[in-house]
Structure 1
Amino acid sequence: MDALLTALSYAGLALLLGSVLARRWLTPGQPGLGPGAAGLALLLLAWAGQTTVTLHALGMTAAPDVLAYVTSTATGRAMLTGLLGATLLLAVEVAAWPTVLALLAAGVTVWGAAGVGHGDGHGTWVRTLHAAHAAAMTVWVGGVLSLVTVRPLGPALARRFTPAALGSVVVLAATGILMATEHLTALREWTASAYGQTLLVKLGLVALALLAAVLVRRAFARRRGARIQLVREALLLVAVLGITAVLANSAPPGGHDSGHTTHLNP
């Protein structure tokens, strides 16, 4: 259940931030506001579900317990921060306010999301890494999903998206390596721990997604079959989000938990 709820939150981030990115830069005016609203709804559903699961496990389900959780725990405050940023981002998009406000709201959103899970409990530096990692993944996933749905689909869109996609891959690689060294301190932990094994699966899926991206570029160059290749890349990226959700709910060998279980004073 925890992994499913985490996956829903990642899907919400990708839909909300990715659709705004596309509307502002990649495919102006497309998609509509529906994906952004759906992303905000998924974030609210996922984090409300995680709060419910955590408090139910603690036997604390009264309304005051919920209020205490979201206002006095690091995870609860991170969720509130993320929802505040997401709501502001959608409002900025509806009102067509300047892009700088959209970037600010997006930053608040990913900073909040980075405090839910392994980004909580390791300090500002690791949380910043998680925020940058989430932002880069959102740019990649959101851009691909936008290209899949846009009509017409031409080489000019691919050329426009390429710098952002490459930048996202570089940020993902750099932050991923740094986060891995925080959570896996010995080489043997990569294969001897469930966390390390799950991370290896994720890296394999990312490698397949990169291969799919290369095939997309070739399809655009041939002007044939680009949409089919984009769909394959999108499916692989969705799989990456899924395995990342599993990873976020797996305890690293060092013993730090996923950040959802928080002790409250009765």
Structure 2
Amino acid sequence: MLPALAAAHLLTLLGALLLVGGAWSRRALTPGHPGHHLLAVGFGLLLLGTALEVGSTLRDLGFLTLDDAAAYLTGTVPGRAALTRLMGAALVLATELSAWPAPLFALAAALLLWGEAGAGHGATHGVTARLLTALHAGAMTVWLGGVTALLLHPLPTGDLARRFTPVALVCVSLLVYSGAALTVEHRGALGGLTGDPYGRTLLLKLGFFTFALLAALPVRRAFARGLPARPRLAAEALLLLAVLGVTATLGTTPPPTHAERGEAHGHGP
């Protein structure tokens, strides 16, 4: 069950990246880019990931009928979170296809991220932890979405990079704050990370995150000096995708505090 859930988590994270990060970039960073086809791919990934997540859970629970599925989707926190995620995704796509105002896009993106944050670990920790998880996911999608938009843009310029830099710095700050807060929430302490599988996986994520930060420095220098920046942007994007991959694995690794309660899976910071 855990590999299927990790794959589902990765698919929904990638879908949120293309939808939320892509739509934000089209509005605030690189107007008209990425194209609507990438947003549609993001919506498809969210559909596929949600179907895999819900299907794996229902199979594991022995819920095989349509009535069982309906009861799960409407009567449990993870089930309602899956529905909320899909509703938010559909609304984000609609806001871009119909050019709705920015406040409506923000509400749709918040709904998607709230749904994403309500599965797994987020289903067991109350409103504050869920808000932190949504904030964490949102900051990651905007950062990686902006990097991806610059990478795919036909003419990435220094002006675009300078416009994105303060946004990226805010995203990094939010990721550090929310990640630390969620680690305390899930583990009870920041120390002793090597003593359990969750902590070791978290350290791996922090390693990739640090390398992504370091990779951003030559990107900024390349833009400042008028050098080709696309290969450096690709390296930064690949490292951030590695962070997403480890996050998906972390989401199926129970923290020590969860293991005490017998929790089987969930989302990590």
| Structures share fold, TM-score greater than 0.5 | yes
- For structure 1, which runs of at least 5 residues remain unmatched after alignment? 261-266
Helix, strand or coil for the counterpart of 2:184?
A: helix
| Corresponding residue of 1:47 | 50
Among candidates 62, 81, 86, match of residue 59 of structure 1: 62
Q: 2: distance between equivalents of 1:5 and 1:77?
A: 16
| Corresponding residue of 2:105 | 102
Q: Which residue identity lines up with residue 222 of structure 2 in the other structure?
A: A
Helix, strand or coil for the counterpart of 1:251?
A: coil
| Corresponding residue of 2:226 | 223
Residue 37 of structure 2 corresponds to residue 34 of structure 1: yes
Q: Which residue identity lines up with residue 203 of structure 1 in the other structure?
A: L
Among candidates 196, 200, 205, match of residue 193 of structure 1: 196
Q: Which residue identity lines up with residue 94 of structure 1 in the other structure?
A: L
Q: 2: distance between equivalents of 1:59 and 1:109?
A: 28
Residue 12 of structure 2 corresponds to residue 5 of structure 1: no
Q: 1: distance between equivalents of 2:181 and 2:266?
A: 19
Helix, strand or coil for the counterpart of 1:152?
A: coil
Residue 131 of structure 2 corresponds to residue 128 of structure 1: yes
| Corresponding residue of 1:258 | 265
Q: Which residue identity lines up with residue 20 of structure 2 in the other structure?
A: L
| Corresponding residue of 2:114 | 111
Q: Which residue identity lines up with residue 25 of structure 2 in the other structure?
A: A
Q: 1: distance between equivalents of 2:212 and 2:190?
A: 25
Q: Is the 8 A contact 1:33 1:94 kept in 2?
A: yes
TM-score calculated relative to the size of structure 1: 0.95
| Corresponding residue of 1:263 | none
Among candidates 75, 79, 83, match of residue 76 of structure 1: 79
- For structure 2, which runs of at least 5 residues remain unmatched after alignment? none
Q: 1: distance between equivalents of 2:181 and 2:253?
A: 18
Aligned-residue offset at 1:224: 1.1
Percent sequence identity is 49
Among candidates 20, 23, 29, match of residue 20 of structure 1: 23
Q: 2: distance between equivalents of 1:109 and 1:187?
A: 29
Q: Which residue identity lines up with residue 180 of structure 1 in the other structure?
A: T
Q: 2: distance between equivalents of 1:99 and 1:186?
A: 39
Residue 217 of structure 2 corresponds to residue 210 of structure 1: no
Q: 2: distance between equivalents of 1:4 and 1:86?
A: 19
Shift >6 Å, 4+ stretches: none
Residues 207 and 259 of structure 1, relative CA distance in 2, 3 Å threshold: closer
Residue 171 of structure 2 corresponds to residue 168 of structure 1: yes
Q: Is the 8 A contact 1:75 1:259 kept in 2?
A: no
Aligned-residue offset at 1:257: 3.7
TM-score calculated relative to the size of structure 2: 0.94
Q: 2: distance between equivalents of 1:58 and 1:97?
A: 41
| Corresponding residue of 1:264 | none
| Corresponding residue of 1:152 | 155
Q: Is the 8 A contact 2:183 2:189 kept in 1?
A: no
Q: Deviations over 1:193-243 (max 9, x none)?
A: 000000000000000000001110011112113110000000000000000
Helix, strand or coil for the counterpart of 2:34?
A: coil
Q: Is the 8 A contact 2:216 2:236 kept in 1?
A: yes
Q: Is the 8 A contact 1:139 1:168 kept in 2?
A: yes
| Corresponding residue of 1:139 | 142
Q: 1: distance between equivalents of 2:6 and 2:28?
A: 32
